[in-house]
Chain A
């Protein structure tokens, strides 16, 4: 466990130097045979693949691995002589302290960059730890605004935070509502009790009245919630025009089922970061409950060939193409692009390249990357709607693949 510096290390360095000199001479002598492969670019991937959010962690890791494999297949980092990307895997088990410990371990093992945490709490810890050695850290999903507001120059986020998402959700809702003659006047928010749910609900409560929508109630629920009938009964009695859920997959499916069971009628179910509302598995397993549900969430650009090709490739691997997959894919690809442009794995150079990136090979409805204080300002959520058993983008227009159906059509 203890690590002796001094004489032993010195001897080792001398030995290595001698060895390298010999090898160098050998390589020079036999260029065709012994030209060494450039050293791999090591990327640390830390996700909660066990523990409570294991599904999201596994999806994130899968997206990252897919990115690494595809980039390597296309020739790796060409400006480094075709250096291959190498994944260094870490499991945070859903705990911030373990995530941070993995960062320390990986940095010492010589990773050139880190893509982590999925959860905001974990991302806060991992990016902070990485900041101690100025190791470039891309936050893959974690939507808390605090992550990017700490003045850490090593921390970057490619996707939007929940403030941006909630603001876009309200603005988009305004447009959709007005286009239909403003049938929606009241809303009821149902949100999960932890960070993204509470944060989003707060913002929505403040912003919705500004576009003429009264928030009749805000209902917070636990993770996990075993039964939604109570909440749905309250919705039934308050009769809001809009139901706005912000929660995780498991709770979302129970909620949607219960809404259907209790025959709740509303003008729309307008999710904001709805846990299942932009999830193919939900659409497949609950077509009746899912029909016409809207979401304002992370999504790919359905008009981008690149995005569609990636979706196909992911599904060919047996993955459900969820936001964890494509966001983490892009986080890795963004980092790889920066390393490519920097032509080096030197941390300072990579951070500089990340900061002035104008990357646009992401297949997201973002436009070229525009980074300010580490956050990609080009990032935005889009509105989706489940129509004809498929997830369509309905807004903004430039990315839309279908027309919005609002208010919801009820009945047979």
Chain B
């Protein structure tokens, strides 16, 4: 039986960890919600974002948080290009082709990174990496607290874009009804690519907020991808608030599962929840019924 005095700190830590997961999932849920594709390359693209933040720091002395101005736009461009140039052309209207295309892309990206950057583990050394913030008796690592607020801010930003801007309306229209959207003059290919780009830009934000407390290797994306999918489904496909909530829930489940079942077995809690939610409430917590 774990010591009760560590349950609260564990819970709080789980929430901040969940925030990081939510950031990765935000992009995925947008892509999934609008384009209905399972982006196998999501982990590999997160890795690219992390390398971008790393090199900006090591070569130009750019602080990872300052890189928020540079990396997300670059990632947006990358995502836009990938969708417009490869993924949409690969589909030919068949789901399995998108799957194969994103899978192929993930192999290309990961191995090019291995070839160019080698397999060494790289970290950034920032003055605040070891700082902690005391909350309710728990020492929360500063980078993770920043990530927590970052996730909230990003989700809010996305929500605003979707609800208040023309672009957002176009995206929502396209997600709901493609033919109709085309009929009212929306450039579907462009909006699809923008959606994908936004999803990847979100990975750029995640990368900036993640690297100070983590590391980067060519395979680093693998550790996040399964969790991200779980959160997307848990939260409800296409829902940003759902992804945020799902992230927090998964973070808490992981922390509590680790305390009560052991760290290795505790991971099972995540997937059991995932399976149960899918069976009994497949639209997820905040997903929309068509």
Given A230-B10, A234-B259, A236-B6, A285–B141 Cβ distance below 8 Å? no
- Of B3, B14, B139, which contacts A261 at CB under 8 A? B139
Q: How many residues of A contact B (CB 8 A)?
A: 38
Do the beta carbons of B223 and A54 come within 8 Å of each other? no
Which residues from A are CB-within-8-Å of B254?
230
Which residues from B are CB-within-8-Å of A58?
118-119
Which residues from A are CB-within-8-Å of B265?
220
Of the 9-residue stretches A11-19, A105-113, A247-255, which lies at the interface with chain B? A247-255
Which residues from A are CB-within-8-Å of B217?
55, 250
Which residues from A are CB-within-8-Å of B114?
50, 54
> Chain B, interface size: which category?
35 or more
Contact with A along B116-131 (1 / 0, CB 8 A): 0011110101000110
Given A227-B17, A237-B3, A54–B139 Cβ distance below 8 Å? no
Total number of A-B contacts with CB less than 8 angstroms? Answer: 94
Min CB distance, A90 to chain B, in Å? 17
Do the beta carbons of A222 and B219 come within 8 Å of each other? no
- Of B13, B111, B141, B262, which contacts A220 at CB under 8 A? B262
- Of B2, B219, B222, which contacts A234 at CB under 8 A? B2
- Of B2, B123, B258, which contacts A253 at CB under 8 A? B123
Do the beta carbons of B121 and A249 come within 8 Å of each other? yes
Q: A401 contacts the other chain (Cβ, under 8 Å)?
A: no
- Of A224, A229, A258, A281, which contacts B10 at CB under 8 A? A229
Task: Give the docked Cα–Cα distance between A285 and B130 (Å).
Answer: 13
Which residues from B are CB-within-8-Å of A230?
10, 13-14, 254-255, 258-259, 263
Which residues from B are CB-within-8-Å of A317?
none
Q: B215 contacts the other chain (Cβ, under 8 Å)?
A: yes
Do the beta carbons of A233 and B6 come within 8 Å of each other? yes
Min CB distance, B199 to chain A, in Å? 21
Q: Which of A330-361 contact B (CB under 8 A)?
A: none
Task: Give the docked Cα–Cα distance between A233 and B259 (Å).
Answer: 9
Q: B59 contacts the other chain (Cβ, under 8 Å)?
A: no
Contact with A along B182-224 (1 / 0, CB 8 A): 0000000000000000000000000000000011011100111
Q: Which of A229-284 contact B (CB under 8 A)?
A: 229-231, 233-234, 236-238, 249-250, 253-254, 257-258, 260-263, 281
Q: A133 contacts the other chain (Cβ, under 8 Å)?
A: no
Which residues in B have some Cβ–Cβ distance to A below 8 Å? 2-3, 5-6, 9-10, 13-14, 17, 20, 111, 114, 118-121, 123, 125, 129-130, 132, 139, 141, 214-215, 217-219, 222-224, 254-255, 258-259, 262-265, 267
